[in-house]
Amino acid sequence: MNVVYQHIDRAFRGYDGVSFEEAETGTLLSGKVKGVLVDRPQRQEMLNILQTLQEDTGFQQSQTLLQDIQALQDESVDVQTFRVGEALAEVVLQEHFQCRLYWNELRDARNPKGNKTGADLVGFIEINNEVLFLFGEVKTSSETTAPPQVMTNPDGIENQLKSLYQDHNKRRILISYIQSKIPLVNGENFKNDFNNAIRNYYRKIDAQYLLYGVLVRDTTVNENDVKSSYERLKEQILDPIGLKLLAIYLPITKENWRNIINETK
């Protein structure tokens, strides 16, 4: 990963642009991004249950059981491009920006091709040894205009982050949502991050947390993709709230992402 531009107001506020080389992008898509999209831990757990049933004499003739086992063994990915962008954002944030997203939100999807509700990213970020709640939005765009419309339109990142800032109830629901996942993951790190983040959230008169907007691009690098949005947002999303924007630039067009994930030509 290469940092192609950066602006820092302070540790919790600023924006970054990062790019990946072609070979690095291919490895990323076919590896960790695919891992998020197929959710291997959950898939393997379900597969183990079905294969155990298959060993029982009473279930060996079930065609439905056989079909579902075969479906779980098939890791081909058939999702919309924006889902790939969201998975990529999750991986990059966790690998390079000290973010921790313990719960794969695709597990909550009743319709695998439907939209999430609330926020695209719900997790934690650690900066200067402080753990904060992270609420974020992700958009993918090939538009050559900078900034692209997904930053500025009514449903774009700017308005989504402002809504998260202005709507206390929305944040409370997201905090309750992520808390409900702790027993399902059963991890001490998850529990510790939640406990630290909720203390930081409620410790002061103004809640402390961080809003993250991530833009995934298959276009040339352009700082104007996020600069003007950040300048507007920092005047509306005020300290002590953390505010970060990230643009991720890939050299492979989004039409080819699924082919690489599925290792086809």
Across residues 124-138, what is the average pLDDT?
Answer: 96
How many Cβ atoms from other residues are within 10 Å of residue 28's Cβ?
21
Of all residues in the chain, the percent with pLDDT exceeding 70 is 95
> Which residue did the predictor score with more confidence, 60 or 33?
33
pLDDT at 113: 61
CA distance 144 to 249: 13
pLDDT tens-place string over residues 181-237: 999 887 899 999 999 999 999 988 778 999 999 999 999 999 999 999 999 999 999
pLDDT at 265: 46
DSSP string computed for 104-146: -GGGG-SSTTS--SS-SEEEEEEETTEEEEEEEEEEEE--SSS
At a CB cut-off of 8 Å and minimum separation 6, what does 27 contact? none
Q: Considering only 31-35, 184-188, 261-265, which range has the smallest mean pLDDT?
A: 261-265
pLDDT class of 256 with cuts at 50, 70, 90 = very high
CA distance 164 to 137: 10
pLDDT at 116: 62
pLDDT tens-place string over residues 105-117: 888 875 656 566 6
Signed CA dihedral, 221, 227, 233, 234: sign only = positive
pLDDT at 111: 62
pLDDT at 57: 64
pLDDT at 110: 58
Tokens read off for 238: 């005020």
Contact (CB, 8 A) for 136 and 119: yes
Q: Which residue, among 229, 207, 8, 75, has the nearest Cα to 139 in the 3D structure?
A: 229
Strand order across the 99-100 sheet: 2-10, 13-19, 242-249, 210-217, 130-141, 121-127, 99-100
- CATH number at 2-27+79-261: 3.40.91
Q: Which residue, among 258, 251, 261, has the nearest Cα to 21 in the 3D structure?
A: 251
pTM of the model: 0.91
CA distance 208 to 125: 12
pLDDT tens-place string over residues 51-100: 888 887 667 678 888 888 888 887 888 889 999 999 999 999 999 999 99
Domain ranges of the chain: 2-27+79-261
CA distance 215 to 153: 14
Q: Write down the mean pLDDT value for the chain.
A: 92
CA-angle at 67, arms to 58 and 35, nearest 5°: 120
pLDDT at 34: 95
